[in-house]
A and B are shown apart, each in its own frame.
Chain A
Amino acid sequence: MSTATDSGYVNFFQAKKGLASWIFTLDHKRIGLLYFYSVLAFFLVGVLLGFLMRLELIAPGETIMKATQYNQVFTLHGVIMIFLFIIPVIPAIFGNFFLPIMIGTDDVAFPKLNLLSWWLYILGALFALSTLVVGEGPADTGWTFYAPYSVKTGTNVTLAVLAAFILGFSSILTGLNFIVTIHRLRFPGMKWFDMPLFMWGLYATSWIQLLATPVIGITLLMIIAERTFGIGLFDPAIGGDPILYQHLFWIYSHPAVYIMVLPAMGIVSEIIPTFTNRTIFGYKAIAISSLAIAFVGYFVWGHHMFTSGMSGPARIIFSLLTFLVAIPSAIKVFNWVATLYKGSIEIKPPLLYAMAFIFQFSIGGLTGLVNGALAANVHVHDTYFVVGHFHYVMFGGTGFAFFGAMHYWFPKIWGKMYNIKRANIAFAILFAGFNLLYFPMLIVGIMGMPRRYYDYLPEFTTMNVISTVGSWVLIIGLIMMLWNLINGYRKGKIAGNNPWGGVTLEWQTKSPPPLPNFLKKPELPEDGPYTFK
């Protein structure tokens, strides 16, 4: 498929041809797109699994699958969506593609490591998928691999754990690369507070990837050792402490939640100034709150364990620390809203997604406070309220930011424009479907429906039916959105270099960008990255 051919320069699609020029490329833009295609493929697999789960839950009792199959499906859904989709989605795709461009350089600091990181991602994905065909089938432990069950079950826990371990490496390499790139390769004259806010999101994320991921790596190795030798590390039957596993697991996995959401916040901070035509309100507050979220986020892992038998004082401390995270998160939300206030707003698809992010992230964040409050948590723990909360933050937040980023940068990456009207319609359906799917979960959770069961009491039926219907609406919206983008790629009009009137550096170069990113010297705005004339 030929992409927009602007005369006079060779874009990065045209620079080289052939499969090898893609899968062995050292160009950050191509690596970003490799990630794009692979992550999107796994996202669709995850969506399919989620669809099957919702179908099972349309009525009480066994509908389309048995209990064990349901356990395996939700485990695989979790592993794919967490490790293969939402952790890499924004940093590895848009971070890779735009980080070097937005700070005015031609690549990340270690292009070869970057390629290795993608290959590790593929290897880890193969391990995860191999559980489907090898031995006793995919793990049925949930994506958390909680001991002691993960130590005892006959399903393919070891393979799934190895997959997570390898994907962790991939994630570390990406983080390491971004930190060094931001430190060492900014365009001469670009100071830290001249960087676009997406960079701050990525920078904070990268530190979490770097410092939290090794802990899960070693923990997963201990699970394998426990399965092999029966040490009694985590299995209480032989003297181990299962809560220690939970500590180790959440020391990584709670910060990992911020790996998932911080880059999304960065995206929103890019989209909003562009479509309000004014500088972002509280630049420094947003930038520093990214680091603050990352930092405080390390110290709140215990709030996943309030009902697991942790000591009382520890629970109180963790609950208190959890509330601290709300402060920097709220700072961001207030700043985005303040930017919208009295801006000259153009309602375009990316802005719609950004606003949906703010709305849904706020619901996710506020329900998070309910979960974080020790007393309330005891009630809602392990109910659908938590599932609803999590999906509001992750899908309603990060997922929608990802869609927003796709619509925002689509003309830059492919040089063409999709149909704006259809994109708006697809957005409306997606938004309706999403809330229809997940809001009933919050209600049914408060009513007391526990999570992780393929069955439920008859009084929860209405809400579950609404939720399942919501999943169909969501999928229709998703298909429309992707179809519209694919159509835009095939037959869209030439977009031009700066269709939205953005001011960050990526809009100064051609669409699609040439191989070295800039054909002439990029101009840094004088008063910070969001100076609109």
Chain B
Amino acid sequence: MEQYVLPNSGHSSNPEASKLGMWLFLFTELLLFGGLFLVYMVYRALNPEAFLIASYELNITMGTINTVVLLTSSLTIAMSISALQKGKKGLALYLMLATIAFSLIFMVIKFFEWNAKIHHGLFPGMEHYQSLPHGESLFFFLYFFMTGLHALHVIIGAIFIGIVVVKVGTDEVTGDQGTLLENSGLYWHLVDIIWIYLFPLFYLIH
């Protein structure tokens, strides 16, 4: 019997399928943070004053710098996709490495911010944290939980892009076969979007 081959196989690479899969994954990420935004909304509605007071502990300058850093990293990863599609492999690699560098800058700034808060005893479970009014301690819990989860995503995103850098280097990912790079870009933009909301909700309550 001659072998019949299906025209649509699940085992062959399918860029459209991977892209759709990535988008669906992003939706789950959105809803994951969504649960936390919901908790934030409820407790901010219940404790408007306490959230305002607690937010003065955060440093707007640092937050703004980090926002600009992350937006710029989104620019570089988006440009790297165009660069690779235009066949400029070297430029694409530089732009991807720049994205990873920006993510490191973001994490360093984040580290100093967290460090300052922990120094003031504001991490959940610490002595000063326990003595805070309930609304304020909720603010700091949500701050650490949400920015922490976001930072985790930044790290994962940077590693993802790092893997793509290697694959572009070995020509496994090219302009025509660029889905992996595009997907890492999509993921990175989502991380950016989450931060776009975290920034005003925590830093800009004033």
Contacts and interface: CB of A to CB of B under 8 A. Distances in A.
Contacts of B34: 214-215
B138 A111 contact: no
B115 interface: no
A209 to B, nearest CB: 9
Interface size class of B (residues with CB under 8 A): 35 or more
A111 B11 contact: yes
Interface string B1-27: 101111111110010110011001101
Given A110-B21, A210-B27, A184 B16 contact: yes
Contacts of B14: 109, 184-185
A233 B9 contact: no
A244 B38 CA distance: 9
A303 interface: no
Given A214-B29, A214-B32, A231 B10 contact: no
Contact of B28 (A214, A248, A251, A517): A214
B40 to A, nearest CB: 11
Interface in A363-393: none
B39 interface: yes
A397 B11 CA distance: 35
A229 B124 contact: yes
A45 interface: no
Interface string A199-233: 00000000000111111011100100100111111
Contacts of A211: 27-28, 31
A260 interface: no
B101 to A, nearest CB: 30
Contacts of B38: 247-248, 251
Contacts of B7: 187-188
Contacts of B10: 28, 100, 105-111, 181, 185
Contacts of B112: none
Interface string A100-119: 10001111111100000000
A281 B30 CA distance: 39
Interface residues of A, number: 55
Given A107-B11, A210-B24, A229-B124, A8 B141 contact: no
B2 to A, nearest CB: 9
B35 A248 contact: yes
A5 to B, nearest CB: 16
A229 B141 contact: yes
Given A110-B21, A521-B4, A231 B124 contact: yes
Contacts of A186: 8
B11 A172 contact: no
Contacts of B21: 109-110, 176-177, 180
A217 B33 CA distance: 10
Contacts of A519: 1, 3-4
A185 B27 contact: no
Given A184-B17, A520-B4, A233 B141 contact: yes
A108 B11 CA distance: 8
Contacts of B46: 241
A111 to B, nearest CB: 6
Given A109-B14, A180-B21, A210-B24, A516 B6 contact: yes
A517 B6 contact: yes
B49 to A, nearest CB: 15
Interface in B117-167: 124-125, 134, 137-138, 141, 145
A238 interface: yes
A271 interface: no
A17 interface: no
A430 interface: no
Contacts of A228: 125
A46 to B, nearest CB: 27
A42 interface: no
Contact of A109 (B17, B35, B134, B141): B17
B122 to A, nearest CB: 12
Contacts of B42: 241, 244
Contacts of A106: 6, 9-11
A180 B17 contact: yes
Nearest to A110: B21
A225 B28 CA distance: 21
Nearest to A9: B1
A520 B1 CA distance: 9
Closest 9 CB pairs of A and B: A107-B10, A239-B134, A218-B35, A214-B31, A214-B32, A229-B124, A184-B17, A109-B17, A215-B35
Interface of B: 1, 3-11, 14, 16-17, 20-21, 24-25, 27-36, 38-39, 42, 46, 124-125, 134, 137-138, 141, 145
Given A9-B1, A180-B24, A229-B125, 14 more contacts: A110-B17, A172-B28, A180-B21, A183-B17, A185-B9, A187-B6, A188-B7, A214-B29, A214-B31, A214-B32, A214-B34, A222-B145, A516-B5, A520-B4
24 contacts: A26-B11, A111-B11, A172-B28, A176-B21, A176-B25, A179-B20, A184-B14, A184-B16, A185-B14, A186-B8, A212-B31, A215-B34, A217-B32, A217-B35, A218-B36, A222-B35, A229-B141, A230-B125, A231-B138, A239-B134, A248-B39, A519-B3, A520-B4, A521-B4
Interface of A: 8-9, 26, 28, 100, 104-111, 172, 176-177, 179-181, 183-188, 210-215, 217-219, 222, 225, 228-233, 238-239, 241, 244, 247-248, 251, 516-521
